[in-house]
Structure 1
Amino acid sequence: MSLSTRLRRPQQSDDPSSSSSPPPSSFYSKVDKQGSLSNYWEPLHFLLYKSGFQTWEYSSQFALRSYLYILFHELVGRPASWLFAEEKLRVFYAVRIFLALLSVITDTVLRVGLSSLAFLELIIPRMSVDDIIFQVSCQAHSLSRRFKQAFLAGAAISVALLVSSVLVDHYYYSGWTSSLLNLLIYNVAGGGESHLYGTEGPLYYLRNGFNNSNFCFVLALLFLAMVPIARKKYAPNLLIVVSPVYIWLAFMSLQPHKEERFLYPIYPLICVAASAVIESFPDVFRFDYDSQGNSPTVMTAKILRPVVLSLILCASHARTFSVINGYSAPIEVYKLLEDHDDVGTGSILCVGNEWHRFPSSFFVPDYVGEVRWIDDGFRGLLPFPFNSTLGGTAAAPPYLNSKNKASDLQYLRDLDQCTFLVELQLSRPFPSRGSDLSTWEVIGALPYLDRELSPAKYRSFFIPYLWQHKNIFGMYKLHRRVPK
């Protein structure tokens, strides 16, 4: 693998996270990849503190991202910035907790909404034939109306959001544009070149689905096979609810540019489909002559349900522990900057091949005047600071382009200006500026899982003892220039 390819972006199959994870992960999970940071956290930081990195997607010339989504974060970020003043890390975590709570609430609402689909299963065994016919007719009519109402409500909300997005973007981009239309043209209709940012094979999402949802993802894919067996329970109502899982997977798999985060919209439905399959285990072994379901095979299948749930729970925790222990070094190392304000204001933090793991400007104290990239061989376009003199959010800087071509201005050439240096040192013949002990002193170092040298079966899931001894680790380091 070439150096430029290796530095382009982190491998999402082993290094995921979500900013809308449950509350514990809001504190302990690593921050998402650079694309998400520059496209969401950095614009938010600019709105709050008038500094932050801008990607070409936020250039008013291209306008692929809507500020409506950023304002949604600002609902919490703005009051938190007033409350915590210069403690930007607290603002960052306040927003993450807000997103985590929203995730919990929406998942709960989904669970309550789906509970009505199980209504017939609970009441049918206690009814006569006439009661069953009457209740089925009433429920079918009710569900049909509810699906129609849900569709109309969804359409109305979509139109309202689209209009709101256009109005908000008009304010920030200083011109009429539709980020949704621009995004569709770029990624789908062939108007852009998203393949420049990485292409993957057709099985990419299947591998990532198992990595992040383990057996839950496998069971979700088996839902279609279970529908004929348990069709009285799930067809057509629940089948309609979870159908976006298969439509989304098929559609996204056809796109050359793939990222694990593109699966985020269907994660809740993957859990719904898997739950339905687990609940239907006894139906696989129930036959017409065993209407009560008392056969040994049916009883065994019932016992199998908690066993499978326990297996999913263990695998999920093993995956979480692997991600936290293997990839959380960047977020912890950047926190150490808070303890070195004695260097004075106007310091420069330099980042080389680790630009894609920069955890956002929220982790950079105010005494640091700039974060600058240094040339370590990467030849793609990197984010630039928002330029207020060119118009801030309304700017269309000439150095930003949609071809992923590096700009001559993106790198700091005079490395003597660097006050701090962030590097990942691996067991490879890659250049390491921090090894010059006459220039740099290490002020923070944490182990970081070396994906390329660690076996997949040991790095993907945390297995005590084996995870520590079978995997290979580098050192994620924060250096400080030695005073002359």
Structure 2
Amino acid sequence: TTRQRRRQSWDEQPSSTAPTSSYNKHDKPSDGGSGGGGVRVQWGMVVFALGFFRYMSVKSNIIHDCDETFNYWEPLHYLLYNSGFQTWEYSSQYALRSYLYIIFHALVGVPASWLFGDDKVKVFYAVRLFLGILSVVADAFLVVALSRKYGKRIASYTLMMLCLTSGCYLASTSFLPSTFSMYAMSLATALALLEKPAWAVAIAASGVIIGWPFSVLAFVPVTLFSLRRNLKRAFLSGAIISVSLLALSVLVDHYYYKRWTSSVLNLLLYNVLGGGESHLYGVEGPLFYVHNAFNNFNFAFVLALLFPATLLVQAVRRKFVPELLIFISPIYIWLAFMSLQPHKEERFLYPIYPLICVAASAFIESLPDFFHDKYVRNDRSLIVLAAKFVRPVILSLIISISYSRTFSLIHGYSAPLEIYKHLDYHEDAGVGSTLCVGSEWHRFPSSFFVPDYVAQVRWIDDGFRGLLPLPFNSTLGGTSAAPVYFNNKNKASEEQYLRDLESC
């Protein structure tokens, strides 16, 4: 008789008609005890790592976009100190910007202003620290959720990229609605992975309404996934949060603009239905975001784009389809949609930054699966071992390039923040002084860096013919003012430049 080998558990293949459950870390074969699927990352380690690098970002990050200064730091400064610059978007005639987002940060800014008094620079960094804490919480949930679902390795890779890639390091402490949407994307994805669909939809709705309304497209996949998991609870959660936040936004806008309006609706109407003229503020080619994302993530972005190709491998497909593929799909949806828009800015990609880290980490983690012999339980062939060795090499390359870019940006462009701090040592200029700024107006770091002895900051005509911000005018109503010198055509106003240069 012929002696037959005893059937092993891994020989049994499910039939095509048998139901298959979603992949989790316990389904992953052993990887030789090198930190594979059966071990979780610890909350303490994740929070410490993220906290350390977010604190470094708080202290060292520059202001990358003048919109951050004039559309967010300046209105916050006005609410705290009754002085600051107003842009045309904050004119009550247009009311395109939500004060709900501003007062959310004023919850930290107000007590910080009480605590630090006249030291406005410390208030600035207190608000930034709040941004860093939000980032730590959201990203920590994402890393832990990945660990519980897919194992320690992919979670660890994601953690390192969230901490050290230039994009995440710099965006995490920027005072921008798209940054808030980025936090929401991390947290909503984490909650969906943790099988909390109602919470995932609620956070997604918050990211869109409090943060950036246009990011709604990026949240569609995680929202649909959550609705499919628990339609009733997820729908009710999303509906209640959406209606509540929209109502609160309208009330807040009414309080500040002194008329019934919705800044969320106004922004959508201006850019979508109203024939918005965002092209007046710059037009870029279709590859702008590809170039920009590569600058901020280098080869991690390339690997994130290539991730769908890994699904051709059955072992990878079994791990990551459908859940992870759904969660990272906003990378491709958002990139394609935004690349079609004529007006492009770096911050518009912020909502998908965490997902780029996840997709790149999944690609790196799956490298050995390309060469693994499916008939061998623990394949230790030379090519598989080489693929495992390459994983930390690739990760190290990504982090090294990212560190170089981050250091270069901070070293090369931090001068405005540092120079304006020195104004504190020039009180001999006298109380009531006028600080004049010329062609570097777009590098103005905000009124938080202007000491109290300076009565006003004014622009000097350097030939720029676009519309510049002007101070909030309390005599016209402050936040409720609709000054005649503002327009939505980006045309310079006669009042925006100081004519008496002797007063500088």
Residue pair 1:117, 1:237 contacting (<8 A) in 2 also: no
Residue pair 1:117, 1:238 contacting (<8 A) in 2 also: no
Task: State the distance in 2 between where 1:289 and 1:391 align.
Answer: 75
Residue pair 1:186, 1:194 contacting (<8 A) in 2 also: no
Deviation per CA, 1:248-293, whole angstroms, max 9, x where unpaired? 1111111111000111111111111111111111111123344423
Greater mean deviation of Cα atoms: 41-50 or 331-340: 331-340
- Give the corresponding residue for 1:200: 284
Distance 1:263 1:417, change over 3 A: same
Residue pair 1:350, 1:374 contacting (<8 A) in 2 also: yes
Match among 143, 148, 155 for residue 229 of structure 2 = 148
- Give the corresponding residue for 2:457: 371
Match among 231, 244, 252 for residue 160 of structure 1 = 244
Instruction: Please give the secondary structure, in 1, of the residue aligned with 2:434.
Output: strand
- Give the corresponding residue for 2:322: 236
How far off is 1:146 after superposition? 8.4
Amino acid at match of 1:204: F
Task: State the distance in 1 between where 2:274 and 2:434 align.
Answer: 40
- Give the corresponding residue for 1:5: none
- Give the corresponding residue for 2:114: 82
Task: State the distance in 2 between where 1:299 and 1:258 align.
Answer: 43
Identity rate of aligned residues, in percent? 65
- Give the corresponding residue for 1:394: 480
- Give the corresponding residue for 2:389: 303
Write 1 or 2 for the structure with the bigger share of helix.
Answer: 2
Residue pair 2:473, 2:481 contacting (<8 A) in 1 also: yes
- Give the corresponding residue for 1:61: 93
1:105 aligns with 2:186: no
- Give the corresponding residue for 1:288: 374
- Give the corresponding residue for 1:51: 83
1:333 aligns with 2:419: yes
1:189 aligns with 2:273: yes
Alignment of 1:63-462 (within 5 A): 63-118=95-150, 148-149=229-230, 151-152=234-235, 153-229=237-313, 230-418=316-504
Match among 58, 62, 70 for residue 38 of structure 1 = 70
How far off is 1:106 after superposition? 0.5
Task: State the distance in 1 between where 2:138 and 2:239 align.
Answer: 18
Deviation per CA, 1:95-142, whole angstroms, max 9, x where unpaired? 0011011101100112223334326999xxxxxxxxxxxxxxxx9999
Task: State the distance in 2 between where 1:58 and 1:102 align.
Answer: 26
Instruction: Please give the secondary structure, in 2, of the residue aligned with 1:348.
Output: strand
Distance 1:140 1:268, change over 3 A: closer
How far off is 1:176 after superposition? 1.7
- Give the corresponding residue for 1:24: 56
Greater mean deviation of Cα atoms: 306-315 or 287-296: 287-296
**Unpaired stretches in structure 2, ≥5 consecutive residues:** 1-52, 155-192, 198-224
Write 1 or 2 for the structure with the bigger share of strand.
Answer: 1
Residue pair 2:145, 2:194 contacting (<8 A) in 1 also: no
Distance 1:293 1:185, change over 3 A: farther
Task: State the distance in 2 between where 1:285 and 1:361 align.
Answer: 57
How far off is 1:161 after superposition? 2.4
How far off is 1:190 after superposition? 4.7
Amino acid at match of 1:332: E
**Unpaired stretches in structure 1, ≥5 consecutive residues:** 1-20, 123-138, 419-484
Residue pair 2:226, 2:234 contacting (<8 A) in 1 also: no
Instruction: Please give the secondary structure, in 2, of the residue aligned with 1:22.
Output: helix
Corresponding residue pairs, total: 382
Instruction: Please give the secondary structure, in 1, of the residue aligned with 2:439.
Output: coil
Distance 1:410 1:146, change over 3 A: closer
Distance 1:43 1:295, change over 3 A: same
- Give the corresponding residue for 1:426: none
| TM-score, length basis structure 1 | 0.75
- Give the corresponding residue for 2:209: none
Task: State the distance in 1 between where 2:289 and 2:350 align.
Answer: 11
Residue pair 1:350, 1:373 contacting (<8 A) in 2 also: yes
Residue pair 1:121, 1:233 contacting (<8 A) in 2 also: no
Instruction: Please give the secondary structure, in 1, of the residue aligned with 2:436.
Output: strand
